[in-house]
Chain A
Amino acid sequence: MKKSMMMLLFTALLFFLIPMHTQAAAKQTKIFLDGQELVLPHSVEVVNIRNNIMIPIRVVAENLKFNVNWDKKTQNVHIQQGSKAISLTVGKNEALVENDTVTLNVAPQMIKNTVVVPMRFVSEEMGLSVGWNNKDKLVTLSSNTSLPSEPSNESGIEATTNQIHEINYASNQLVVSLDQEITPVITTLQNPERIVVDFPSTNLGDMGQALSGGAMGRLDTSESPNIADIRYSLFKNDPAQVRIVIELNNVRSVNYEQQTIAGKFILDLSMVNEPVPVTPVSSGKKIVVIDPGHGGSDPGTTSFSKKPEKIFALALGLKVQALLQQESGIEVIMTRETDIYPTRSERVKLANDLKADVFVSIHGNSVKAAPQVSGTETYYYQRESSKELANLIHHNLIKALGFKDRGVRNGNYQVIRETTMSAVLLEVGFLSNKSEEEAMMSETNQNKAAQAIVDGIKEYLTL
């Protein structure tokens, strides 16, 4: 229960912000675009991976204002700006730039439910030049021409700063009360569908007092089912710029009209609703989710010959995948196909969202303090269907590998508890046991184990 709440919270953090005061942390990476500091949303972290600055795709979309499309299923990030387009994939070192393949220093990664991409690569491909001041952790970006609508002070007169006094939303109308008429810059973004309204040279008046730095306020939109969220913030400091983001909910398309009446800016929205979301089930095939344990930042245990468990789990998982792909009645989905770390909640969510029929998590066991301990054990959690699946796979594994039979056991593990289908966790053998590790690392035995797992799954699905 608590965990599912955590999961919800994480998902929410992807798109929303918790209003909070920003801290002037000395080591925090700051990004300047054309001399102006980007006020990054509070929840957003810029990470440094082997000296590559990685930024969440949300920053690419909201701060750099490129069009970003995220396809969760293929783990693909598509970034577009005018005629320039690049395509990156989580965990892959290769990216596509207008159909040419280029190699990245660091592959995009999924960190805490957020996809991060290499900043220099994305910026430069999009026509920005990038500078890095390591001492002060400053990134400077400068655009030549192509960036949309940066507020400028070119008039030569120090623009007097406008004030916003009130923001309201009702009956598909956003009403912003200003002390001077001003035409905001409006952009639409996808995934999720958003309308971004930027007011240049504008500050939050009375209503801004409770907010500081990158903090954010939000409107009550509980009576507007088409609106997921409306948030506003002082987006830039010098000169001031206020940003209002309207995030839409289940909307297929949106049109808007803007007008200014008596000092009030009014944005009228007309939305076409999305039909009820379709379930991803296809073609009557059984969906099997294979989950190679650990990965990325979580190496799992270390084997007798000092190899990380995640390597074994992935190697075996990919062999199971290859065999299942030959089955016409089965569609196989992997929680990971590379050395990345999806959280356990993400693995569970993937299987549940797909309405999978079978979930198999693959692990290698270990107890370094007792290297003589060996054998195969298989876990299920309470459900009879999971127990049946566990028995079938376990039986096949024991037959195929000939390891000691440690039994089929009930175990309270998140990935088999929170998944809603038949789910098992395999501890194929002990990586801390010298001879078992040797066997588990051999191609022959991995192929045998993969076949045993597939046989168990097929028996369970009566295919």
Chain B
Amino acid sequence: MKKGIYLAIAICAISILAVGCGSKPTSSGPVQGSDPASTSPETTANQNEEGEQSQDIQVFYADDQLLQLEQSTKNITFEDDSDKYSKTFAALKSNDQTELISLWNGIDLLSSTFNQGKLTLDVHIPDEARLGAGGELLAIDALKETFFQFEEISSIELLVDGDATESLMGHVEIEHPLTRE
């Protein structure tokens, strides 16, 4: 059932993009059919003159008491797929909303690579950015919720300084890779 709706939305998204292309015949953008944004159900990608796209995404944070996850809509602008994931991470770590707490604030993304459904994120966690037991669980959930909204991502390999560590912050074990449950 849900699949049907997704499909309908996806078809809509593709046709909108197709119309966009038609109205701008001089644009020599990438092949739209392979654009992952077009397969993303809740969002519509727009492309501006510089070949940059912008997209509304859902980003997950903690509430202001660090008790549960809250989602917030953010607009990201990116050039290509790989840029999309780093911009998503940047949104995840930005702490500019007073009523929400970024769980990834202060954590640096060293690299992100996407290959055949697996997104590898290599991060560096300064000691002061480490959370307590509750925060660590929320942080992992926030990362999963945020990145798994992109349908093309089926798993996330989360590395700390290049290593597949057993834990991010010392309370919770992490699976390698993280998968959709």
Contacts and interface: CB of A to CB of B under 8 A. Distances in A.
B106 A411 contact: no
Contacts of A379: 133-134
B123 interface: no
Nearest to B129: A368
A369 B106 contact: yes
Tell which of B67, B169, B171 has the most Cβ of chain A within 10 Å. Answer: B171
A1 to B, nearest CB: 11
A162 B162 CA distance: 46
B167 A366 contact: no
B101 A344 contact: no
Interface stretch (A35-43, A124-132, A282-290, A299-307): A299-307
B128 interface: yes
A370 B64 contact: yes
Contacts of B166: 6, 343-344
5 contacts: A300-B130, A366-B130, A366-B132, A373-B66, A413-B172
Interface string B126-148: 01111111110100000000000
A298 interface: yes
Interface of A: 2-3, 6, 293-294, 298-302, 306, 308-309, 343-344, 363-370, 373, 377, 379, 406, 409, 411-414, 425, 427, 430
Contacts of B64: 370, 373
B111 interface: no
A370 B127 contact: no
Nearest to A345: B166
Contact of B170 (A294, A377, A427): A294
The 7 closest A-B pairs by CB, nearest first: A365-B132, A369-B105, A301-B130, A302-B128, A302-B127, A370-B101, A369-B95
A3 B173 contact: yes
Interface class of chain B by DSSP: loop
Interface of B: 62, 64-67, 95, 101-103, 105-106, 127-135, 137, 166-167, 169-173, 175
Contacts of B132: 301, 363-367, 427, 430
Contacts of A299: 127
B101 A373 contact: yes
B170 A411 contact: no
Given A367-B66, A373-B66, A412-B137, 15 more contacts: A6-B166, A301-B130, A301-B131, A302-B127, A309-B130, A344-B167, A367-B62, A367-B101, A370-B64, A373-B64, A413-B133, A413-B171, A414-B171, A414-B172, A427-B133
B96 to A, nearest CB: 11
Contacts of B135: 365-367
Contacts of A409: 134
A309 B135 CA distance: 15
A298 B65 CA distance: 26
Nearest to A295: B170
A377 B134 contact: yes
Contacts of A302: 127-128, 130
B127 A301 contact: yes
Contact of B173 (A300, A411, A414): A414
Tell which of A3, A301, A344, A409 has the most Cβ of chain B within 10 Å. Answer: A301
A411 B101 contact: no
Contacts of B127: 299-302, 308
Nearest to B130: A301
A293 B102 contact: no
A6 B175 CA distance: 12
Given A299-B127, A302-B127, A368 B106 contact: yes
B128 A301 contact: yes
Nearest to A417: B173
A170 to B, nearest CB: 41
A365 B128 contact: no
Given A302-B130, A369-B101, A369-B106, A411 B137 contact: yes
A194 B60 CA distance: 55
Contacts of A3: 173
Contacts of A306: 128
